[in-house]
Amino acid sequence: MAFEFDVITLFPDMFDAITKHGVTGRAKENEFYGLYTWNPRDFTENVYRTVDDRPYGGGPGMVMLADPLEKAVTAAKLRQTASGVSEMKVIYLSPQGRLLDHELVKELGQLSGLVLISGRYEGVDDRLIKRQVDEEVSIGEYVLSGGELPAMVLIDSMVRQMPGVLGDPESANQDSFVNGLLDFPHYTRPKVYQGDIVPEVLMSGDPVRINRWRLQQALGRTWLRRPDLLALRIKRGMTAEENKLLEEFKKAYKANQNKMNQGKE
Ligand code: 9WO
């Protein structure tokens, strides 16, 4: 049975961005997952089909009404159950949520379905969140115009982890962050681009040397750009080989810095 996503959104067409393009488009066609959208506007009772109102306590902007959202969530949960989903969570995408990382992507992948609420305006009536939401998830520390892009980010990150979605079964494991390191640099043709040549080792055809170089680059880049990630990785244990490669990278980097600084000071 496929993983089922149900999304509550005022802008269902936005989700064409993932369902009609690329890896996530193909995965949907091949029924690796199902995605169904619910518009709270379709669950309104009045002629204006109102989904928002002014905030109690005053202030700028509007707040999404609890009732149309709750009716949409109820319909979404019903569809999940009818599709055979047994383990489901309701997630509200918000800057107040738990930060999305590879750990959370794996955790949510253990479920069989998700109901995602994409808010608009200044937010959602808090009583809806208390009544219906199991977890709030944030994709980063910034405010957007709505939760649709975050919902798509979450779906994309989960779909590419589904077994069989990426052609090569190894692809998802090669991803950055899976081994707690940043990615190594990539090159393709031509061999020389604007005077810049591809590292010789990548053209050697020696898979042992190539893997060693890539691991060294990943370690070195993580050391340079994400010392916080490297510290975690060191705590979880580095092999003697990894330590040697990193020390070698540091030495080469520092030697290069000294060379660059010649003449200064
Ligand atoms: C709007 C606003 C206006 C004035 C002062 C404070 C304010 N906060 C917000 C706000 O948080 N609006 C949200 C817009 C309401 C819920 C949907 N929106 C949203 C979700 N923006 N950003 C996200 C989001 C979700 C997950 N990860 C990162 C950002």
Q: Is position 175 annotated as part of the catalytic site?
A: yes
Same fold, 3-174 and 203-264: no
Catalytic residue among 67, 136, 156, 175: 175
User: Does the domain made of 3-174 have the CATH classification 3.40.640.10?
Assistant: no
201: left (phi over 0), alpha (psi -120 to 50) or beta: alpha
Domain boundaries in the chain? Answer: 3-174, 203-264
d(CA 205, CA 60): 62
Whole-number Å distance, alpha carbon 91 to ligand 1 midpoint, is 15
Q: Per the residue annotation, which of 41, 79, 160, 226 is the catalytic one? A: 160
Query: Nearest C-alpha to atom 8 of ligand 1 is from which residue?
Result: 122
* Choice among 41, 55, 79, 95 that is catalytic: 95
Tens digit of each residue's pLDDT (9 = 90 or more) over 91-129: 999 999 999 999 999 999 999 999 999 999 999 999 999
Pocket test for ligand 1, best of 129, 136, 143 (most atoms within 8 A of CB): 143
Q: How far apart are CA 157 and CA 165, in angstroms?
A: 12
pTM for the predicted model, two decimal places: 0.96
pLDDT digits (tens, 9 = 90+) for 147-170: 999 999 999 999 999 999 998 878
Cα separation of 49 and 55, whole Å? Answer: 18
Q: What is the pLDDT of residues 165-190, one digit of tens each?
A: 998 878 888 777 878 999 999 999 99
**Phi then psi dihedrals of residue 172, to 5 deg:** -65, -30
Residues at CB less than 6 angstroms from ligand 1: 61, 93-95, 119, 122-123, 138-140, 143-144, 146-147, 150
DSSP structural state of residue 165: S
CA dist., res. 13 & res. 110, Å (int): 28
CA 191 to chain CA mean position, Å:
33
The architecture in CATH of the region 203-264 reads: Orthogonal Bundle (1.10)
